[in-house]
């Protein structure tokens, strides 16, 4: 069996690896590190959670151990699709380079340009960045990429999903033609393959697992759920989620719940907290400091449930996540692989449940076609109709139907004649004052050539009737 000591790594790097508690490399590490140390381009294809970060971090530190960076001219570049993944790569660099005097800079959004400019001006050996922030620094004239010797593209297929491919192509054009490129992806879409054919030079291809496969150590299941009514489906779906969580009991130590939309992330997290679950949201619209605090709490075990959008589907290195729940079936089938890859890491067992409503059945079929197997169906933990128990305040209030309102109006109309009959009987029972009846009423008058003019009733103000009296007098 291959060990890290057999891979010709720098002794100081090897010492850091041993201190971190690792002795045996994963298949992707054993396959990618030797050609990377030889200076060859590498195309690594492996599913999430197989140790791809160390596959490029360890040979990169070994290669950069000699030499010194110049101001604003980094010696290596690592591109990541999300801030969280970039921060994780930076943590790995700190772990494995602690015995080697190398400098780094992390360029991500949500951090002031001034602090990042100071690091770049000093000169950095390793520059870890998201594509957008990297180009922002370059366009401001604060960064020169002509001295990049090693370029790493991590989670390339996620770059494709997020629309970063034009930025990646531009960054490739800003780096030297003689650079070494390490390219890693979980899947190989046609667009990704086009880029590798264009920018990689005779790469060594390492594919340690069939593309888009899920780990055999992950127990999967899908609940086919149909709401009793359209306006209450979301509320009932949240009740199903809570029942799934409760059904796992003590087996669920911590969990990530994935939603397709950012608004649903907030709604689900708020609903769970309302029912006493320890949950917090994370998505791209939140402030970076809040995202960092939430992730740190989850990694430290202080937060039990993380409700996330796909911004967290890649790059979350939390080895002991016991469960993953897909509140929605992902729109892109590849995202299913990355989502459930958050559990069952480092050889541990994991559990992944998915809730599928009728409109998501097409997406579920796409997922099963990609992973080339049927996901086992499991019975819904609650039955239709009882799902809304305790969650009614989150569902829209039912509007009274037109039929019901028309019935109420008609019934009120039917009651009116009864009231009128009672008034008639009451009037008939009273003695009639013939003299008063024959006398002209107040506010009544007669014209000389016509019938009497009747006023507007006893409530008519007296000043309005004065005009009749004046005409009569004249």
Q: Where are the domains of the chain?
A: 4-207, 218-394, 433-474
Which string of b and e fits 376-396 if b means at least 16 CB within 10 Å?
eeeebbbeeeebbeebeebbe
Strand order in the sheet with 279-282: 279-282, 305-308, 255-258, 323-326, 350-356, 218-224, 377-378
Q: Please, are residues 74 and 149 in contact by the beta-carbon 8 Å criterion?
A: no
- Count the helix, strand and coil residues of the chain and give each as a percent rounded to the nearest 5: 45, 15, 40
Residue among 206, 211, 213 nearest 26 (CA): 206
Q: Please provide residue 283's backbone torsions phi and psi, each rounded to the nearest 5 degrees.
A: -160, 175
Contact 279, 269 (CB under 8 A): yes
Q: Residue holding tokens 């264009």?
A: 198
CATH of domain 218-394: 3.40.50.300
Which residue stretches of the chain have pLDDT < 50? 385-448
For residue 413, the model assigns a pLDDT of 45
- Pairing of β 150-153 and β 180-185: parallel
**Class level of CATH domain 4-207:** alpha beta
Treating both helix axes as pointing N-terminal to C-terminal, what angle do 165-174 and 131-139 enclose, rounded to 10 degrees?
Answer: 50
Q: What's the pLDDT score for residue 338?
A: 80
Give the pLDDT confidence score for residue 453 in this predicted structure.
52
Contacts of 441 (CB under 8 A, 6+ apart): 454, 455
Residue with tokens 């360029």: 107
In a 3-state reduction of DSSP, which class is residue 298?
Answer: helix
Q: What's the DSSP call for residue 213?
A: P
In whole angstroms, what is the distance from residue 351 CA to residue 257 CA? Answer: 12
Q: Kindly report the CA angle at 48 between 44 and 54, in degrees rounded to 5?
A: 60
Two domains, one topology: 4-207 and 218-394: yes
Annotate 205-240 with b (16+ C-beta within 10 A) or e (fewer).
Answer: ebebeebbebbeebebebbbbebeeeebbbbbbbbb
* 454, 444 contact by CB (below 8 A): yes
């Amino acid at each position: 069996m291959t060990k890290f000591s057999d891979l010709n790594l720098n002794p100081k790097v090897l010492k850091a690896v041993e201190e971190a508690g690792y002795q045996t490399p994963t298949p992707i590490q054993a396959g990618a590190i030797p050609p990377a140390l030889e200076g060859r381009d590498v195309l690594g294809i492996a599913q999430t959670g197989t140790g791809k970060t160390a596959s490029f971090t360890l040979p990169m530190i070994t290669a950069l151990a000699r030499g010194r960076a110049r101001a604003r001219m980094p010696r290596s570049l690592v591109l990541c699709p999300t801030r969280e993944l970039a921060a994780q790569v930076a943590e790995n660099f700190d772990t494995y380079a602690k015995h080697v005097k190398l400098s780094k800079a992390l360029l991500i959004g949500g951090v002031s340009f001034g602090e990042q400019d100071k690091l770049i001006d000093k000169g950095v050996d390793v520059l870890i960045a998201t594509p957008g922030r990297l180009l922002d620094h370059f366009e401001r004239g604060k960064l020169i990429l002509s001295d990049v010797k090693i370029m790493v593209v991590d989670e390339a297929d996620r770059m494709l999903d997020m629309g970063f491919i034009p930025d990646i192509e531009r960054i490739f054009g800003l780096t030297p033609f003689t650079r070494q490129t390490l390219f890693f992806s979980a899947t190989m879409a046609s667009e990704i393959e086009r880029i590798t054919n264009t920018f990689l030079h005779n790469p060594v291809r390492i594919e340690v697992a069939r593309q888009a496969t899920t780990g055999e150590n992950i127990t999967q299941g899908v609940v086919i759920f149909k709401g009793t009514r359209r306006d209450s489906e979301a509320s009932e779906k949240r009740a199903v989620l809570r029942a799934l969580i409760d059904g796992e009991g003590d087996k669920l130590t911590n969990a990530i719940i994935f939603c397709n939309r950012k608004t649903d992330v907030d709604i689900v997290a708020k609903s769970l907290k309302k029912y006493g679950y320890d949950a917090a949201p994370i998505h791209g619209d939140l402030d970076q400091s809040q995202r960092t605090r939430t992730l740190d709490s989850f990694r430290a075990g202080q937060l039990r449930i993380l409700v996330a959008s796909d911004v967290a589907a890649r790059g979350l290195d939390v080895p002991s996540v016991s469960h993953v729940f897909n509140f929605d079936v992902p729109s892109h089938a590849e995202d299913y692989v990355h989502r459930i890859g958050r559990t069952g890491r480092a050889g541990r067992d994991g559990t992944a449940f998915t809730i599928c409503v009728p409109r998501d059945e097409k997406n579920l079929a796409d997922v099963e076609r990609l992973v080339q197997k049927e996901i086992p169906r499991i019975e819904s933990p609650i039955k239709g109709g009882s799902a809304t128990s305790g969650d009614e305040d989150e569902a829209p209030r039912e509007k009274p139907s037109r039929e019901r309102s028309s019935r109420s109006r008609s019934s009120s109309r039917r009651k009116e004649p009864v009231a009128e009959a009672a008034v008639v009987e009451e009037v008939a029972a009273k003695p009639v004052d013939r003299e008063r009846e024959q006398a002209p009423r107040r506010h009544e008058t007669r014209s000389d050539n016509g019938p009497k003019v009747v006023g507007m009733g006893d409530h008519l103000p007296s000043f309005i009737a004065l005009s009749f009296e004046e005409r009569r007098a004249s």
